Structure 1
Amino acid sequence: MPYEPLPVSTSKPVLSWANHNLASAELQMAKNVASLPFVYKHVALMPDVHLGKGALVGSVIATEDAIIPAAVGVDIGCGMAAIKTPFTADQLEGKLKQIRSEIEAAIPVGFNENKEADKAVTNWSNWRDFKDLHPGVQRLETKALRQMGSLGGGNHFIEVCLDTEDQVWLMLHSGSRHIGNQLAQCHINTAKELAKLANLKLPDPDLAYFVAGTDEFAAYWRDLQWGQNYARFNRDVMMNRFKKIVEKYLVGGKQIKPLLSVNCHHNYAEKELHFDKEVYVTRKGAVRAREEDYGIIPGSMGAKSFIVKGKGNHDSYCSCSHGAGRLMSRSKAKKVFTLDDLIDQTQGVECRKDTGVLDEIPGAYKPIEEVMNNQSDLVEVVATLKQVLCVKG
């Protein structure tokens, strides 16, 4: 489905790949962003778009000489990793429960952290730049070290999946943990203070921004890149542990070579060239999808997920959706659904089936097939996956 321009009277148009009408609060959020003077060309909304903080989750915002820290969000570098293994479905038989329990023992979830950092973590070259990060996070170095290789909470997950050929894939979703959150909060607060001092008339205080060429912009950009690198490496560390556990149960610990590896952010900003101009591109709940870029678009824990290849659609700033997108808030999901609904909707999946994960029930998410149909001009599907094991954050 190609995009449709939204009927908004703003200085820059809003192009939407969603096939549903945006609610008034969502429409207002899109208008707020599109009315900012430094927004380049247009704002692009992905098919899984929904309410966020300051900017819609599922929006791609290209800007000239400015960046909005709250539009990048507080989970800097949040994203997905997946590997295709040479294993097949029959090798998993009777082993999923043990694999799940070993993953839960090896990879901390929620607010938990590793008791001590392993060698791969302490050897990460970017620790040497920690001292240059915002003064507000300097006390967190030990915590950042221990949380490297941990999942976090909310909608973060680790999954064993099967594709349509019954080939086994390993997949996970995580970000930059507490350190990324704290870096983001420090800079969002600075941006808001600057906006107040400058008497800026913003449509929403969460759209406070930094201007290129200032010390504040340079400090945020440096910390943002560090946080994004932390998030990517965090996924690598977990994937390595995850892969070892699966190898232990399937081939007695023999190391296998992945047939395909993908690791992509979906909450981040980069400098990119679009329509012959270098701009800052913020993807808030969106994946880069240039030609030949591989991406991961997960459904809920009872639905399909997709490995995709980008088509390089310039109108979307070479982007695609980052998932199914929430249909309802976490609190609403807890009111609407019961534990029986959760058990019913996660049939055939080795996962937690308790009220603690009720807010992550598949019914709280948009239908992923619909989301995929709406972006056939953005990506092609390389593999369709269905999970057989899910560990929730």
Structure 2
Amino acid sequence: MAYETLPLSTAAPVLSWAGHDLSSEETRMAKNVASLPFVFKHVALMPDVHLGKGALVGSVIATQDAIIPAAVGVDIGCGMAAIQTPFRGEQLEGKLKRIRQEIEAAIPVGFEANKEGDRTVTNWQGWQGFKDLHPGVKRLETKAVQQMGSLGGGNHFIELCLDTEGQVWLMLHSGSRHIGNQLAQCHISTAKELQKLAAQKLPDPDLAYFVTGTPEFAAYWHDLQWAQQYARYNREVMMARFKRIVEQHLAGGKPTKPLLTVNCHHNYAEKEVHFGESVYVTRKGAVRAQESDYGIIPGSMGAKSYIVKGKGNAHSFCSCSHGAGRLMSRSKAKREFTLEDLIAQTEGIECRKDAQVIDEIPAAYKPIETVMANQGDLVEIVATLKQVLCVKG
């Protein structure tokens, strides 16, 4: 599907790959962002677009001379990592439960953190710059070290998957943990205070922004880059532990070389060149999809996931969706579905099946096949995966 231009009377057009009409609330959110004077060219909405805070999740916002901290969000650098292994699906027979138990023992989930120091973590070069972060997070260095290599909660997950050829893939979804959240909160608060002082009228207080050339912009951009690096490395640490566990069961502990490695953010901002101009690109629930980029688009924990290669579509600012996108809120999912529904919808998958994860039930998400059909001009599918094991945050 190609995009459609939404009929909105805004300074910047809104191009949508959603393939359906937005709700009135989603439309209002899109209009709010597109009415900001520093938005460059247009706002691009991905096929999995849904309500967020300030800006829609699944939106790509290119800006000149300004950035909106709440549009990047509080899970700075959240994203996906995947590796294609040389293993075959039949090698997993009878081993899934034990593998899941070992993953849960090696990688803390939810609010948990690592109890022992890991040299891979303590040797990360990013710690040298911790002293230069926002004063509001200075007390959190020990916690940030302990949480490096931990999954977090919500929709974060670790999955063992098979592709259509029966090849084994390792995949996980996580971000910058508590430290990224706190950095975001500090800077969002500063942006809102500045907006109040300037007595500027905004369509939504969550669209408070920083202007280039100011100390506040420089401080936020510095901390944003640090948190994005933390998030990427966090995924690398977890993936290395995950890989070692699988190798222990399938290769007698012998290290193996991945056939393909992908690690991509989907909540972040970078400076990029589009339409011949250098701009700040905020991808709030979107993956970069330049021609040379590999990306990961997961479904829910009972659906397919996709490894993709970007087509470099200029109108999407070289972006694609970051997943299936929620169809209903967590609270609504808990009201609508039962534990029996969860068990039925995750049949054949080695995973938790308890009331605490009902909000992650597959039916709470949009059908991933529809999402993929709506972005044929953004990405090509490299591999189609189906999970056989899932560890939820």
Counterpart of 2:3? Answer: 3
Counterpart of 2:241? Answer: 241
Counterpart of 2:223? Answer: 223
Q: Check whether the contact 1:113–1:150 (CA below 8 A) recurs between aligned residues.
A: yes
- The alignment covers a number of residue pairs equal to 393
2: CA distance between counterparts of 1:283 and 1:116? 34
- Shift of residue 233 of structure 1? 0.0
Counterpart of 1:82? Answer: 82
SS at 1:129's partner residue?
helix
Q: Check whether the contact 1:92–1:250 (CA below 8 A) recurs between aligned residues.
A: yes
Cα deviation, 1:68-121, whole Å, max 9, x if unaligned, reads: 000000000000000000000010000000000000000000000000220010
2: CA distance between counterparts of 1:6 and 1:200? 27
Counterpart of 1:57? Answer: 57
Counterpart of 1:138? Answer: 138
**Correspondence 1:190-229 to 2 at 5 A:** 190-229=190-229
In structure 2, give the amino acid aligned to 1:222: H
2: CA distance between counterparts of 1:126 and 1:48? 33
- Shift of residue 20 of structure 1? 1.3
SS at 1:84's partner residue?
strand
Counterpart of 2:68? Answer: 68
1: CA distance between counterparts of 2:274 and 2:121? 36
Counterpart of 1:385? Answer: 385
Structure 1 gaps of 5+ residues are none
In structure 2, give the amino acid aligned to 1:157: F
Counterpart of 1:46? Answer: 46
- Shift of residue 336 of structure 1? 0.3
What is the TM-score with the length of structure 1 in the denominator? 1.00
In structure 1, give the amino acid aligned to 2:260: L
Counterpart of 1:91? Answer: 91
In structure 1, give the amino acid aligned to 2:337: F
SS at 2:348's partner residue?
coil
1: CA distance between counterparts of 2:85 and 2:305? 16
In structure 1, give the amino acid aligned to 2:330: R
1: CA distance between counterparts of 2:136 and 2:70? 17
Structure 1's consecutive aligned runs of 4 or more residues displaced over 6 angstroms after TM superposition are none
Counterpart of 1:318? Answer: 318
Counterpart of 2:365? Answer: 365
SS at 1:192's partner residue?
helix
SS at 2:312's partner residue?
coil
1: CA distance between counterparts of 2:20 and 2:330? 21
2: CA distance between counterparts of 1:274 and 1:385? 32
1: CA distance between counterparts of 2:182 and 2:313? 34
Counterpart of 2:13? Answer: 13
Counterpart of 2:335? Answer: 335
2: CA distance between counterparts of 1:144 and 1:42? 37
Q: Check whether the contact 1:117–1:148 (CA below 8 A) recurs between aligned residues.
A: no
- Shift of residue 162 of structure 1? 0.1
- Shift of residue 7 of structure 1? 1.0
SS at 1:2's partner residue?
coil
Counterpart of 2:177? Answer: 177
Counterpart of 2:151? Answer: 151
- Shift of residue 291 of structure 1? 0.2
1: CA distance between counterparts of 2:292 and 2:144? 33
2: CA distance between counterparts of 1:364 and 1:127? 38
- Shift of residue 290 of structure 1? 0.2
SS at 2:136's partner residue?
helix
SS at 1:269's partner residue?
strand
2: CA distance between counterparts of 1:89 and 1:64? 48
Is residue 354 of structure 1 aligned with residue 358 of structure 2?
A: no
SS at 1:42's partner residue?
strand
Counterpart of 1:280? Answer: 280
Cα deviation, 1:185-233, whole Å, max 9, x if unaligned, reads: 0000000000000001000000000000000000000000000000000
Counterpart of 2:124? Answer: 124
2: CA distance between counterparts of 1:17 and 1:24? 17
SS at 2:235's partner residue?
helix
1: CA distance between counterparts of 2:288 and 2:86? 27
2: CA distance between counterparts of 1:12 and 1:293? 27
- Shift of residue 62 of structure 1? 0.1
Q: Check whether the contact 1:80–1:174 (CA below 8 A) recurs between aligned residues.
A: yes
SS at 2:18's partner residue?
coil
Structure 2 gaps of 5+ residues are none
- Shift of residue 331 of structure 1? 0.2
2: CA distance between counterparts of 1:369 and 1:63? 31
2: CA distance between counterparts of 1:57 and 1:334? 21
Counterpart of 2:187? Answer: 187
Cα deviation, 1:146-200, whole Å, max 9, x if unaligned, reads: 0000000000000000000000000000000000000000000000000000001
Counterpart of 1:257? Answer: 257
SS at 2:391's partner residue?
strand
1: CA distance between counterparts of 2:26 and 2:33? 11
Cα deviation, 1:266-303, whole Å, max 9, x if unaligned, reads: 00000000000000000000000000200000000000
1: CA distance between counterparts of 2:20 and 2:235? 33
SS at 1:146's partner residue?
helix
- Please report the RMSD computed on the Cα atoms of aligned residues, expressed in angstroms: 0.3
Same amino acid, percent of matched pairs: 81
In structure 2, give the amino acid aligned to 1:185: Q
